[in-house]
Amino acid sequence: MRIKTIFLALALTATAGAASAEKLCGWIENPTPGNWWLTDRDGSWILAAQGAAEAEGMDLIGDISAGDYVATNGNYGYGCACVDAEVDVSESRIVSISSFKQLPLKTCKRDKALKAPSE
């Protein structure tokens, strides 16, 4: 009986708040310093929030203004991108990024399932 209880506790611990690997594609937004999210067809995923933890691998994003990009607030704005990431679905948060690829804006504009970013 004790072994079953321990096994069940380990199984529940492993699944609670577990991150899963995902490929997310959509609008990558950086509207203000320290705030980043990606909005795909399923909703918004937080990469970083000013004063809070940020996803591991944020350095892979680089300067999105060097690619196809829309400035909305001085040096801040949005682009279109895909990330391979570990996500925490319950928190709608990207925990870590393993790859980042910026795409042409037209790629996201063509996807009718994506809501356009605020300008």
pLDDT per position as a tens digit, 42-99: 999 999 999 998 999 999 999 999 999 999 999 899 999 999 999 999 999 999 999 9
| CB proximity list for 60: less than 8 A, separation 6 or greater | 97, 98, 99, 100
Structure tokens at 49: 């929030």
| CB proximity list for 85: less than 8 A, separation 6 or greater | 21, 22, 23, 24, 45, 55, 57, 94, 95, 96, 97, 98
**What pLDDT does 97 receive?**
98
What is the percentage of the chain residues whose pLDDT exceeds 70? 84
Looking at the domain that runs over 17-110, which CATH code has it been given? Answer: 2.40.50
Most distant pair of Cα atoms in the chain: their distance: 63
pLDDT at 6 over 60: no
Average pLDDT, the chain: 86
pLDDT at 101 over 60: yes
Overall pTM surpassing 0.85 (yes/no): no
**What pLDDT does 5 receive?**
35
Taking the domains of the chain in order of start, what are their residue ranges? 17-110
